[in-house]
Homo-oligomer: A and B are copies of this chain.
Amino acid sequence: MKVLIVHAHHEPRSFNSALKDCAVEQLSAAGHEVQVSDLHAMEWNPVASAADFGCRANPDYLVYALEQRHNYEAGTLAPDIAAEIAKVQWCDLLILNFPLYWFSMPAVLKGWIDRVMISGVFYGGKRIYDRGGMRGKRALVTLTLGGREHMFGPEAIHGEIHTLLRPLLQGSLAYCGFEVLPPFIGYHVPYVSAEARGQILADYGQHLQGLDDLQPLVFPSMNDFDDKLMPLQR
């Protein structure tokens, strides 16, 4: 299995980075090939702009998704973007490893999604969800946060964490055709004991060992919608 880990923590000695290191070690030891895109170390540029394109289909008016397709075909995408696309195409499993910022991804990682998951290759028109470009690949979200587990749930103060993660789990990963594994979530990590953190690392090791036995999350299927994406009557 070829694994791409996209990592988005600014502190290499953080617990979040320890989770990433755990995955690299364990997956490599199990014989898988592992690449890591450490966005902070790479000084990843997260801002989608005209600078991403070496030649413009429309030089006067920037339509970002149009230029993504045009420049991919022409081979004139910014090199940092092209390199990341190649890594995703190479991998069988994509792991996004990040601290939860405002119940979502830090901007540096959101910008990896904005710039790398291009129109045409990852999705297009009706080639979304189970018809998306990443069909056949799996995705895992591994995240840490300060909040405690009881703060999330149907009656809890912040609501359900999978619901908060829907733009990522459904709207980005499932949308592009990835089979989305249940996320691994390390709660309350800045505040728990070293022993508790050790246990979370051990649990993550188990999660990784058991990936093939995990039930993927369920998302909409294009078989249930018509050409206009209206629900088919049943």
Residues of A within 8 A of B (CB): 10-11, 13-14, 40, 44, 46-50, 61-64, 101-108, 110-111, 113-114, 117, 129, 148, 150-151, 155-159, 163-164, 166-168, 170-172, 175, 190, 220, 225, 228-231
Contacts and interface: CB of A to CB of B under 8 A. Distances in A.
Question: What secondary structure prevails in chain A residues at the interface with B?
Answer: loop
B159 A170 contact: yes
A187 to B, nearest CB: 13
Contacts of A164: 166-167, 171
Contact of A228 (B101, B150, B170, B172): B150
Shortest beta-carbon contacts, A-B, top 4:
A107-B111, A103-B171, A46-B107, A103-B167
A102 B107 contact: no
A54 B35 CA distance: 34
Nearest to A190: B63
Contacts of A110: 101-102, 104-107, 110
A197 to B, nearest CB: 14
Contacts of A46: 46-47, 107-108, 111
B107 A114 contact: yes
A180 to B, nearest CB: 14
B108 A107 contact: yes
A143 to B, nearest CB: 13
Contacts of A62: 10-11, 14
Contact of A102 (B106, B114, B156): B114
Contacts of A170: 158-159
